[in-house]
Structure 1
């Protein structure tokens, strides 16, 4: 049986940017566009709305210029309006070649927002499509509020579709604008339309207000959708849009015998992380496929099962997405979890010592303390009173200065295998100056410091300013990431303690 090809249209740069508080800069938009088309291999991208701002215009111009050079220009789409051709003029200047024309998909919107008859609306749409054709611009048409249109004014929707299929339209885009559909409605409405217009390309655009977007996408696929609109990390207004990573995994696992898509799974996580950084829109740790914790086994019984014929694995293997399975350390850790982490560190303990270490980790978990793989050698050393951790590098002393009007600076003295080294540097803050001094010192020793990729500070909830402060730093050393923590009443000192632990790891 020949597989049906479904187009994936990513609208992170248009609909996704409508996430509250998110605005991508022009260089960020260009970088994201390149990643979506060249790394993820999505079929199309929707990058902006016409006539929004001068900044948006320049961003679109940059993307269309690059896309034209690399033969992607017909994959780049812009949201336009029924405005007598002003959007078409804007697109022409911006160099875009595909418009997604926003029209009214429900009688309620048409009557109360535009205050026009269907015939007036269709006539104005026809005029815009003709203008686009003259300028060599292809047209897709959005039926805004289509889902409510199907619920409350189906006669109007089919009257509209009867008109559209007579026009030179490439695709008709059916959005659940307010995220109100159930999966049964999605299948029913979409099936009615694809049955009546079997030769027309229909896209489905889901929103996630009831957390039903992925389920609705599945039903739209079953009902014959030819394309899907998705966003990275499920970004979008209100509760967001259908998330790209989840839908790709669903299609590849549940529709693999009948549906074909070209999105590259192994790039989903890295693109998710980059867009998380650009947008400042944090991905929940339990977000399917791309969340930090979704490939982490916490319960000891699960780690034990993984050792015994992978009893707790499913088809969502982390390697598919360029990730690795982890085994959390905490109060529910069993010996199997700890053994998995020890294996990664190249350490081995006898049964009696393993019991002692397990008990200590459970105690720390009961106190709500986070335990990482990198903490294990220190815990073992402490519990077994051994010399497992020999700190060959010690931050012996330091001077931190911070004065108004002057750049912060640090002088640091470090002992490496008993030999003292001293260095001075400035930075954007005290800890940045400290790291710069350390970097200069390491450079002299022809050594390279790992790169700091994440820095988090916390105090216990409800504590006062004199409470102990925990600094958690994530480091990148070539292709490996690891975390160290420091604890002190002073934030900078706790960061320095975390850094000393990193140096010895």
Structure 2
């Protein structure tokens, strides 16, 4: 059986912009339009609704000027209305040459919203299509609320289709306007229209109110649809539209024997991130294909399986979408995840070292901290450094107090050579209070002064996108010699205390 090509029309800039709180600027619309056509390689884009605003007109003018220069003006589409020619005037001013004319696809909408008979509506539609053709504008027609029309007023839908097939149109756009279709209904309704009107080009426009958008897209194709309307990140009114990333992955992986598209799936993630930035519409981390977590293995057993013949891989390889698989570092990650991250960094540890690093990551995970790959060298350095120093001095316990109107205070318990000592002090900050308590203990029991603290620096690991770790680097001076100790923890003050404990053991 010959593989047929499915047209992909992206409506992020029109239907997607109807997402609550989203409005693209003129320059953002132009940038997204270019990216959709040049990089993602969708077949068509719907960029605006006619007569909305001056800014909308300016955006479409910018897009059509660019599209004309690239000889792709026929790929730019605008939603228009049966309004006595006002939308056509707007189209002419905008420079767009393809209108997607919104008409009534259910008797309920026609009767209660327009309060017209089918014959009156058809006459108005014909006049609009003829006016468009006279002005060199191509027409596609939307049947608004078509899905409910098929459910509740099928006779009207077929009366409409009998009429529209005689008109000068290119495509029939069949929307599930309220997102109510089940996959079975999608199959039956599209198949019925396709069988009765085989010469009409059918586009399916799915919404996601029941989270069935992608399933309905899949079934629409099987039933004979020639085109799909999709949006980046599933943007759109209410629960949004069928998302382009998931739809393309489904087509490529489950329907490739029957259909193909021109979409470059490697650009899906790049486009997704740009639209997320421009729209402020955040992508859930678990959103298929483009979510931050979807190519991250968390469980150690999965990483172990990936090391053993890719046991936990499926066909959704991240490289297909310009991404890379990651192995999370946390309390469930285990040694296999850490080894995967070490391989990426070009590092290796022996079994004993790996065990100690794993334990430290588990401790951080128990604090609900997320550790990134960039944190790993710092954890290794801290763990291995700690194990090279004989711990004769241990900071056993401490209470850090900070209350409004009172100076910060610390109560400190220090174990030296097995003997426990305790002191209390105040300071200008929590760490200063800790150091004052420590000075008391040290002076009392060793009759010596502590090394001088001459530099104190705090940083997070460069490139880290987590808040799991804070590294404190303290430079000390004693007997005209300087030395440095490091402390690592999720809490800044605690990391400084750890660096100080190392200093105590060194001296």
Give TM-score scaled by structure 2 length.
0.77
Matches within 5 A, 1:336-415: 336-385=336-385
Report the CA distance shift for 1:471/1:115 in structure 2 as closer, same or farther (over 3 A). Answer: farther
Give SS of 2:14's match: coil
Partner of 2:486: none
Report the CA distance shift for 1:471/1:206 in structure 2 as closer, same or farther (over 3 A). Answer: farther
Partner of 2:169: 169
Residue 62 of structure 1 and its aligned partner are, at CA, apart by: 0.4
Give SS of 2:465's match: strand
- Distance in 2 (CA, whole Å) between partners of 1:124 and 1:473 is 66
Partner of 2:139: 139
Match status 1:483 vs 2:465 = yes
- Distance in 2 (CA, whole Å) between partners of 1:487 and 1:384 is 17
- Distance in 1 (CA, whole Å) between partners of 2:202 and 2:259 is 15
Q: Which moved more, 1:349-358 or 1:307-316?
A: 349-358
Q: Which moved more, 1:34-43 or 1:1-10?
A: 1-10
- Distance in 2 (CA, whole Å) between partners of 1:16 and 1:28 is 14
Report the CA distance shift for 1:72/1:147 in structure 2 as closer, same or farther (over 3 A). Answer: same
Partner of 1:45: 45
Matches within 5 A, 1:151-190: 151-190=151-190
Partner of 2:148: 148
Give SS of 1:483's match: coil
Deviations 1:352-384 (A, max 9, x none): 111111111111111101111111111122222
Matches within 5 A, 1:322-333: 322-333=322-333
Unaligned runs of 5+ in 1: 389-469, 476-481, 489-493, 498-505
Partner of 2:284: 284
Residue 261 of structure 1 and its aligned partner are, at CA, apart by: 0.5
Is the 8 Å Cα contact of residues 171 and 200 (structure 1) preserved in structure 2? yes
Deviations 1:455-502 (A, max 9, x none): xxxxxxxxxxxxxxx998985xxxxxx5364659xxxxx9xx9xxxxx
Matches within 5 A, 1:209-358: 209-358=209-358
Residue 45 of structure 1 and its aligned partner are, at CA, apart by: 0.1
- Distance in 2 (CA, whole Å) between partners of 1:210 and 1:236 is 14
Unaligned runs of 5+ in 2: 389-457, 472-488, 493-507
Partner of 2:112: 112
- Distance in 2 (CA, whole Å) between partners of 1:172 and 1:23 is 28
Partner of 2:78: 78
Match status 1:102 vs 2:84 = no
Give SS of 2:269's match: helix
- Distance in 1 (CA, whole Å) between partners of 2:167 and 2:370 is 61
Deviations 1:272-297 (A, max 9, x none): 00110000000111111111110000
Give SS of 1:45's match: strand
Is the 8 Å Cα contact of residues 372 and 483 (structure 1) preserved in structure 2? yes
Report the CA distance shift for 1:319/1:228 in structure 2 as closer, same or farther (over 3 A). Answer: same
Partner of 2:2: 2
Report the CA distance shift for 1:254/1:280 in structure 2 as closer, same or farther (over 3 A). Answer: same
- Distance in 2 (CA, whole Å) between partners of 1:309 and 1:157 is 54
Give SS of 1:294's match: coil
- Distance in 2 (CA, whole Å) between partners of 1:44 and 1:472 is 45
Match status 1:54 vs 2:54 = yes
The structure having more radius of gyration, on CA atoms, is 2
- Distance in 2 (CA, whole Å) between partners of 1:201 and 1:119 is 23
Give SS of 1:159's match: helix
Partner of 2:17: 17
Is the 8 Å Cα contact of residues 8 and 43 (structure 1) preserved in structure 2? yes
Give SS of 1:319's match: helix
- Distance in 1 (CA, whole Å) between partners of 2:260 and 2:208 is 24
Residue 387 of structure 1 and its aligned partner are, at CA, apart by: 9.9
Partner of 2:498: none
Deviations 1:56-87 (A, max 9, x none): 00000000010011011000000000001100
- Distance in 2 (CA, whole Å) between partners of 1:4 and 1:199 is 15
- Distance in 1 (CA, whole Å) between partners of 2:170 and 2:460 is 51
Matches within 5 A, 1:446-465: none
Residue 386 of structure 1 and its aligned partner are, at CA, apart by: 5.6
How many residues get paired? 404
Residue 385 of structure 1 and its aligned partner are, at CA, apart by: 2.1
Residue 199 of structure 1 and its aligned partner are, at CA, apart by: 1.4
Partner of 1:398: none
Residue 116 of structure 1 and its aligned partner are, at CA, apart by: 0.5
Is the 8 Å Cα contact of residues 473 and 484 (structure 1) preserved in structure 2? no
Partner of 2:92: 92
Residue 27 of structure 1 and its aligned partner are, at CA, apart by: 0.4
Give SS of 1:385's match: helix
Report the CA distance shift for 1:279/1:166 in structure 2 as closer, same or farther (over 3 A). Answer: same
Report the CA distance shift for 1:341/1:170 in structure 2 as closer, same or farther (over 3 A). Answer: same
Is the 8 Å Cα contact of residues 370 and 466 (structure 2) preserved in structure 1? no
Is the 8 Å Cα contact of residues 461 and 470 (structure 2) preserved in structure 1? no
- Distance in 2 (CA, whole Å) between partners of 1:270 and 1:360 is 35
Report the CA distance shift for 1:473/1:378 in structure 2 as closer, same or farther (over 3 A). Answer: closer
- Distance in 2 (CA, whole Å) between partners of 1:158 and 1:196 is 9
Is the 8 Å Cα contact of residues 472 and 483 (structure 1) preserved in structure 2? no
- Distance in 1 (CA, whole Å) between partners of 2:47 and 2:98 is 11
Is the 8 Å Cα contact of residues 474 and 484 (structure 1) preserved in structure 2? no
